[in-house]
Amino acid sequence: MREIESGPPPRRIFEVTTAERALRCGLACRILDTTGRLAMAVETLPSPAVLGERPVRLALTGWRLASLGFAVEPEGSYALPFDPAAAEAALRPLVDPTLPPPSPLPFGSGDLRPADRIETAALELCKLAGLLPAALVFEEGARGEPHVAAEADLVSVFAYRDWIARSVRPVVEAEIPLRLAGRARFVAFRPADGGAEQYAILIGSPTAEAPPLCRLHSECLTGDLFGSLRCDCGEQLEGALRRMAEEGGGVLLYLRQEGRGIGLVNKLRAYRLQMEGLDTVDANIHLGFEPDERDFLVAATILERLGLPRVRLLTNNPGKVEALARHGITVTERVPHSFAANRHNHFYLETKARRSGHLIDLAPLRDLRRGRA
């Protein structure tokens, strides 16, 4: 495996990690630019009373505001005044987006403007923390309340994802015979922030001499472990291992990107919204996320570390092909990877094809929806 290049200063990584942890605990963090301001996550705010009477700005993604009826660019981030007098009513639809929002909304569009750099960084920290992207940003008061538990500079917050993706390094390798693929080796890759490890499962002995079959598999606890019928993730995982065993080799990257990168808790929220009629894309948008929050730089980094610059990619998603190419990995062939739908996931698969550009044959799905299969 390739040697690991030197990365960013550990202190700056630690500062961002500490800041996102503070938000998860309902504490404030200071975000530093030329000046500094405080940020707290809406989801974990212990009480509006901690804000005092200071002016507060509510930062939200364009996706969330558009879902609430605001005329904004979905890809942008915005901020508007937050009225402490209406705090509890205003927070309710933001803390739990699965609830129907009140009408009229307790916050209007007055003084709505694009978020500045600190407000945008606060939203990024919320996402890094696995929280809903909604933040309260304000100046630090004379008494320093609420308690400031951490601080991070703006540049580090925005660079953090790439830092962590490029920092992964192998820490242990072990042979583990699998039910579907007898010759398998697991290689654990740890990022510089000490966070969740990524895993490469090597079937047989893939080498750079011929592009091996490769699958980028985003973890799915409900599908991979519990056999959820709402998606096809478990079938894709098992099918990839089986196909690699049949071909005599391959590499499966098990990536910690639950729910298209929004995390398990938010994926469960999205499931709640889907039960009310939203599709996968609209459910993520309603929560304030992009339709797909994943980035595959970490996958490209792992393949580079493994000495596999060219692969045959097992996927129906052209976006994965484009992402690997953007990060320096050559995909010599896209290998289709589809499985039969069931009555629980046919709508999910249709959404993948119609709205996310996945190359899936819709005819069997239409037949299933019409009760012909």
Please, is 85 exposed, middle or buried when counting C-beta atoms within 10 Å of its C-beta (0-12, 13-18, 19+)?
A: exposed
Q: Which of 64, 260, 292, 305 is catalytic?
A: 292
d(CA 327, CA 343): 37
* All structural domains of the chain: 10-161 (3.90.870.10), 169-369 (3.40.50.10990)
Question: Which residues are bridge partners to 252 per DSSP?
Answer: 201, 215
Residue 294: active-site member: yes
For tokens 């740890």, name the residue. 190
Helix axes of 117-128 and 154-167: crossing angle, nearest 10 degrees: 40
Give the neighbor-by-neighbor strand order of the sheet with 134-138.
113-114, 77-82, 56-61, 134-138, 36-41, 28-32, 148-153
Q: What is the DSSP string of 295-329?
A: --HHHHHHHHHTT--EEEEE-S-HHHHHHHHHTT-
The set of residues, in sequence order, having a beta carbon less than 8 Å from that of 226 and lying 6+ positions away, is none
Per-residue pLDDT of the chain (373 residues; tens, 9 = 90+): 665 555 667 889 999 999 999 999 999 999 999 889 999 999 999 988 888 878 899 999 999 999 988 889 999 999 999 876 666 777 777 888 888 877 667 666 678 999 999 999 999 999 999 999 999 999 987 666 778 999 999 999 999 999 999 999 999 999 999 999 888 999 999 999 999 999 999 999 899 889 999 999 999 999 999 999 999 999 999 999 999 999 999 999 999 999 999 999 999 999 999 999 899 999 999 999 999 999 999 999 999 999 999 999 999 999 999 999 999 999 999 998 888 878 787 777 788 778 777 777 765 555 555 555 4
Q: Which of 12, 166, 243, 294 is catalytic?
A: 294
CB 157 within 8 A of CB 29: no
Beta strand 213-218 with 310-314: parallel, antiparallel or unpaired?
Answer: parallel
pTM of the model: 0.92
CA-closest candidate to residue 360, choices 328, 300, 315, 326: 315
Residue 215: active-site member: no
Token pair in block for residue 363: 């005819």
How many of the other CB atoms lie within 10 Å of CB of 173? Answer: 12
